[in-house]
């Protein structure tokens, strides 16, 4: 007698939170992402958790610095695709008119510049990144990284 047992299909996991567009909100985004990844099986000490947390920190800091609109929050969304362990990180802010450079066009800042390296890190550490505009009130900067 042959019996075939159906294996449960892994489901895509989501985490979404709205945070104040302040340095404190950006810090909280980083901490919540690290905790969520730990819950999903990538412990705090794992390289994958550290890389993803760094990407969240850079995108959240950019949302606070360049995408802040008085009285408006930013949104962090994490989507884990278990079939290939790809994590999509999305940060949505309230300044659709402040468009980031497109992938592949980033310029190196001057060696003594105090800023301008965040998206360079995102480009170097992620498999893909970009920005989308879903409506006239927001923009989303996203990246994807394989957790492995």
CATH number at residue 75: 3.30.565.10
Is there a domain that residue 67 lies in?
yes
Question: Residue 101 — very low, low, confident or very high, per pLDDT cuts 50/70/90?
Answer: confident
SS3 content of the chain, % helix, strand, coil (to 5): 30, 25, 45
Is there a domain that residue 6 lies in?
no
Count of structural domains within the chain = 1
**What's the rounded Cα separation, in Å, for the pair 33 and 143?**
14
> What SS3 class is residue 3?
coil
**What's the rounded Cα separation, in Å, for the pair 135 and 37?**
29
pTM assigned to the model: 0.89
Cβ atoms within 10 Å, residue 116: 12
Write out the H or E segment, with its range, that includes residue 32: helix 23-39
Q: Which one, of 141, 147, 142, 139, lies nearest residue 69 by Cα?
A: 139
pLDDT, position 80: 97
Give residue-wise pLDDT tens across range 39-96: 999 999 999 999 999 999 999 999 999 877 787 899 999 999 989 999 999 999 998 8
Is there a domain that residue 102 lies in?
no
Is there a domain that residue 109 lies in?
no
Is there a domain that residue 124 lies in?
yes
**What's the rounded Cα separation, in Å, for the pair 25 and 17?**
10
Write out the H or E segment, with its range, that includes residue 89: strand 86-93
Is there a domain that residue 134 lies in?
yes
**What would the mean pLDDT of 108-124 be, rounded to a whole number?**
81
C-alpha dihedral sign at 44, 36, 69, 98: positive
Is there a domain that residue 2 lies in?
no
Write out the H or E segment, with its range, that includes residue 144: strand 139-146
* Residue numbers of the domain that contains 24: 13-97+116-146
Write out the H or E segment, with its range, that includes residue 145: strand 139-146
């Amino acid at each position: 007698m042959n019996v075939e047992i159906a294996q449960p299909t892994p489901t895509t996991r989501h985490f979404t939170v709205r945070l104040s567009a302040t340095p404190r909100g950006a810090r909280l985004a980083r901490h919540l992402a690290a905790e969520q990844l730990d819950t999903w099986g990538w412990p705090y000490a794992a390289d994958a958790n550290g890389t993803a947390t760094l990407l969240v920190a850079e995108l959240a800091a950019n949302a606070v610095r360049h995408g802040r609109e008085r009285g408006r929050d930013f949104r962090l969304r994490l989507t884990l695709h278990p079939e290939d362990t790809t994590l999509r990180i999305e940060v949505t802010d309230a300044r659709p008119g402040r468009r980031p450079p497109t992938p592949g066009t980033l310029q190196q800042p001057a060696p003594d510049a105090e800023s301008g390296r965040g998206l360079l890190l995102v480009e170097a550490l992620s498999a893909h990144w970009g920005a989308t505009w879903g409506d006239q009130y927001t923009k989303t900067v996203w990246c994807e990284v394989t957790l492995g």
